[in-house]
Structure 1
Amino acid sequence: MASITMLRRATPNEQRTISREDLGFYHAVIIGAVYQFGNGLDIEPPRSFFAPLNRCINEHPFLSVLVADRHTDKSFYHRASTINLEDHITLLDRASSSEDHWPAIEAVVQSDIERPFSHTIPPWRIVILPLSPNSAFIAFSFSHGILDGPSGISFHRTFLKALQSNLSPPLSPVVTPPDVPLPPPFDTPRRLPISWSFLLRPLLAAILPSFLANLLNLSASAATPDDGTWTAIPCASNPPDTNTRLVLRTIPAPLLSKALASCRANNAKLTGLFHQFIVRALSKSLPTSTINASGKETPITNFLSQTAINMRPAVGISADEMGEFATGSFLSHQRVGSSVCNGPVTDEEWECIRDCTRSLAESAARLDDQPIGLLRYAPSIRGWLEKKIGTRREGSYEVSNVGVAGFDEEGGVGIVDVVFAQPGHVVGVPLCFNVVSIKGGGLVYTLTWPKGGLGVADEDTFVEEICASIKKDFEGF
């Protein structure tokens, strides 16, 4: 067996994503894009994409790494000596209809999101779905153990520029990655300091009897649901290997433009508005009460959200730097009545949207006392994840918005749509809204959930009601 050289150890948050995947709780993150080729590129043979992939590997060091000691709490990264590009390309048959490509794209994302990565090659791949002779959907699927969501946008930006440059392909599909260091780790004590007061709250909550912790308003995690919080059903006691269900929905550019104009007029951001649309949808679709773990009927009064935050701007890192630079923000949202959620967004709701916008902005600008920094104090991150099995879920839903993707067209080669998806959470919140939009275009989101994990009689109908409500709210401007 060839010796390997450690590049660096995984940080606590990187270890969380590595352990989660090694336990089988989570597989591929996907950032896909619809490419248009006006330069006569033959998109059918995999060799057409060797040069762009080689460019990406040369510019982004994490694309050449593997993870060692995945089953421990001391995982580390090491570089592959060579990479066979053919091992990282999956070419599918052309979509049957070029008029409406979204069902075919949805099917590709659904099938690939639960596909495990090999541990013998760097954990990423591209899946190519030809849509027409001059267009294709290219999904960049990658392990969250090496990259976060915005890294996928960086990949496509580099990949697109390489396609536009008409690079000559390497003579062989086997390439040697450059010997360069990885970017500095993000969630370190120096970058994310934790105060004693912030640290002691979860420590005391874990040590003290539950009644005393509740009396003192202490929490064992960054945010804790109360008796009225909808959290679906507990995490599965025996998680299945294939778990994620997914739907893909689009919001046309004219509707998105009107929503953005309303946000600007109300001093708010789109992510805050999207949160309120979700709250309205859940308020309409869920019953007034649920049966808790003790068998008692409990009113559903609020929802607890998690929002992924891109911290690159806060630490002065380029938007194109690949790696793990995310934290989370946790917010509580009150349920709204039927008379409110079936009408236009009210002034009271706009105040909630502004509050959400301010809270997310504060989280994105603050480096001290970030919840993700608490992971360094966990005795075993793998054990912490395993203990979540069979317990109450930690919230109601997640919003992960990788933002507005901008791509320049050159030489007839460009990107016209983008898709973002991640698996449903085995041990996290029951619903994940994965959002991305393209500059000057529309918005695309996927909604993912663990199969059988929503606690409703008909999951497909429930999810369809949520998506229909969100669309109706966009149409209301």
Structure 2
Amino acid sequence: MASSTTLRSAGLLECFHIVRHHLSLDSCVVVAAKYASLDGRSLSQETLFAALKTVVEKHPSLCLKVQQEDAKPSYAKLDKVDLSLVVQFSDAEDVELAIQRQLSTRFDTSAELPLWRLQVLANNTVVFAYHHGIGDGLSGVAFHMTLLDAVKVMTPNESLQTIVEIPKSIALPLPLEKVTNLRPSIFKILAEILGLFLPVSWTRLGSAWTGNPVPAAKPNLEPRVKLITLTSSEMNTFSQVCRSHKATVTSALYVLAATTISRLIPPSSEKYTKLVAAVAISLRGPANASADLMCDYVTAHKSYPLIDTVFDWSKATSYATELQRQRLVSRQEVGMLSLLSGNYIGFFNSQLGRKRGSTFEISNAGRIASSEGQWRIEDMVFAQCNVILGSALTMSVVGDPTGAMTIALTWSETAVDDMLAEAYATEFVDGFRALLV
């Protein structure tokens, strides 16, 4: 499976994710979904491989490898993709364990293999793991929606074809900075430069609890995963309550996360008065990109909620307005990467041994629309790694066509104690259900 055709250089955000993976600080993004047929049929290898051929041909991001990860990363086209090397059928059914193992496994970028892999569990759950450099969280959703459409038109007697030949000419989506304005304001640049020279204790971060510091030496990549499932009935009620308060699901989850963590902060952390939250914002709108595109078009908005153990709907309402206001402003966060002048390795290494930059992160991929046909998807899960340098706790959220919502809580033992994370999951669910009455 040889490849030598360079397609284009990686963009600002793509380089960020490529180098972070190269330094063993991250592994992949995972989006899983259970495929169910009306007649109870299993997803056979023949049907899946035939459908995957259609998916690979539609999404150029699935036909790539990366080059020069430690210098100036670029994407090269593979001549072909051998599905037998990237798809594994398993007798296992434990989705949580499967996702944890995927998040613990980096890609061998030196091999002539694409930057994704599939694990098909015994219960028809398809676990799609992919390099963050080829897609954001919504890209995993786009993959499954394309696969579902392809599976629907496959016949049960499809012949087994493992090789997908890649056309000589494919067009990758442009990097984010080519499709929307990421240029940071002079005030943003000055504030960032000032922050480099001030002691942490003089900044807002100094008074914020963000879990344990980043280890001085890179630990093994061993993410913990806890799946939290909220039923369609619960989500229907929750959405109605959110609307009644002019809040959104994301803004309410944000306040609930902050109040839950506030109750669990260790007694030794009494000196802290606030938390740091990072909430992902899709830039597909400003980039004029469709929902079915696989691309890396995302940013994050950072805020500093006060430590407060009481849920307040007015805060959820206010934060919903704040997020809406940040949809364009937040592009500057990605634009700030241009100040690194390509020295991503130096940047990441400088984070080792320092205070963690955020307490919790929320990435909400939204609810997936239902569709008609012989096949449907359900029980969707979205999960991310980045547990070494990232937030102490990360919540990746997705709603499936049934209306249920799954939250993948990820962390590492170097960031927070396992007991704290498990207690957080329990108290978060209790707090969520208390809002329904």
Deviations along 1:54-94, one digit per CA (max 9) or x if unpaired, are 1111111101011101122x100011011101111011015
What residue is the counterpart of 1:35 in the other structure? 35
Q: Which has the higher helix share?
A: 2
* Structure 1 residue 40, shift from structure 2 partner: 6.6
Deviations along 1:371-411, one digit per CA (max 9) or x if unpaired, are 11100111311210111011110011111111111231302
Matches of 2:132 and 2:108 in 1, distance apart?
14
Q: Does 1:173 align with 2:162?
A: yes
Deviations along 1:111-164, one digit per CA (max 9) or x if unpaired, are 111112122211101110022xxxx11111001011111000000000001110
Residue number among 71, 85, 88 corresponding to 2:86 in the alignment: 88
Kept in 1, the 8 Å contact 2:301–2:330? The answer is: no
Q: Does 1:247 align with 2:209?
A: no
Structure 2 counterpart of 1:161, which letter? D
Residue number among 401, 414, 420 corresponding to 1:462 in the alignment: 420
Kept in 1, the 8 Å contact 2:33–2:380? The answer is: yes
Kept in 2, the 8 Å contact 1:16–1:382? The answer is: no
Deviations along 1:223-254, one digit per CA (max 9) or x if unpaired, are x5132x11111111222233211111111111
What residue is the counterpart of 2:184 in the other structure? 194
Does the C-alpha gap of structure 1 residues 272 and 138 become closer, same or farther in structure 2, counting only changes over 3 Å? same
1:318 alignment partner, SS class: coil
* Structure 1 residue 440, shift from structure 2 partner: 4.0
2:133 alignment partner, SS class: coil
Q: Does 1:114 align with 2:104?
A: yes
1:363 alignment partner, SS class: helix
Kept in 1, the 8 Å contact 2:47–2:154? The answer is: no
What residue is the counterpart of 2:294 in the other structure? 322
Q: Does 1:391 align with 2:370?
A: no
Kept in 2, the 8 Å contact 1:42–1:48? The answer is: no
1:225 alignment partner, SS class: helix
2:305 alignment partner, SS class: strand
Gaps of 5+ in 2: none
Number of residue pairs matched by the alignment = 430
Matches of 2:176 and 2:88 in 1, distance apart?
32
* Structure 1 residue 352, shift from structure 2 partner: 1.1
Matches of 1:472 and 1:40 in 2, distance apart?
35
My pick for the range that moved more, 28-37 or 182-191, is: 182-191
1:308 alignment partner, SS class: strand
Does the C-alpha gap of structure 1 residues 230 and 172 become closer, same or farther in structure 2, counting only changes over 3 Å? same
Matches of 1:36 and 1:197 in 2, distance apart?
52
What residue is the counterpart of 2:145 in the other structure? 157
Matches of 2:373 and 2:212 in 1, distance apart?
49
Residue number among 304, 314, 330 corresponding to 1:332 in the alignment: 304
What residue is the counterpart of 2:216 in the other structure? 237
What residue is the counterpart of 1:70 in the other structure? 69
What residue is the counterpart of 1:142 in the other structure? 130
What residue is the counterpart of 1:295 in the other structure? none
Identity across matched positions, percent: 26
Structure 2 counterpart of 1:143, which letter? H
What residue is the counterpart of 2:433 in the other structure? 475
2:191 alignment partner, SS class: helix
Structure 1 ranges of 4+ moved more than 6 A: none
Does the C-alpha gap of structure 1 residues 391 and 264 become closer, same or farther in structure 2, counting only changes over 3 Å? same
Residue number among 376, 381, 404 corresponding to 2:344 in the alignment: 381
Kept in 2, the 8 Å contact 1:148–1:323? The answer is: yes
Residue number among 340, 346, 353 corresponding to 2:316 in the alignment: 353
Structure 2 counterpart of 1:249, which letter? I
Kept in 1, the 8 Å contact 2:395–2:410? The answer is: yes
Matches of 1:471 and 1:182 in 2, distance apart?
41
Equivalences for 1:193-342 in 2 at 5 Å?
Answer: 193-206=183-196, 208=197, 210=199, 214=202, 225-227=205-207, 229-290=208-269, 298-337=270-309, 340=310
Q: Does 1:451 align with 2:418?
A: no
What residue is the counterpart of 2:21 in the other structure? 21
Matches of 2:314 and 2:366 in 1, distance apart?
22
Structure 2 counterpart of 1:395, which letter? S
TM-score where L is the length of structure 2: 0.93
Structure 1 counterpart of 2:420, which letter? F
Deviations along 1:202-239, one digit per CA (max 9) or x if unpaired, are 12333x4549x94xx7xxxxxx5132x11111111222
Structure 1 counterpart of 2:62, which letter? L
Matches of 2:144 and 2:175 in 1, distance apart?
23
Kept in 1, the 8 Å contact 2:2–2:78? The answer is: no
Structure 2 counterpart of 1:63, which letter? L
Larger radius of gyration: 1
What residue is the counterpart of 1:294 in the other structure? none
Does the C-alpha gap of structure 1 residues 312 and 299 become closer, same or farther in structure 2, counting only changes over 3 Å? same
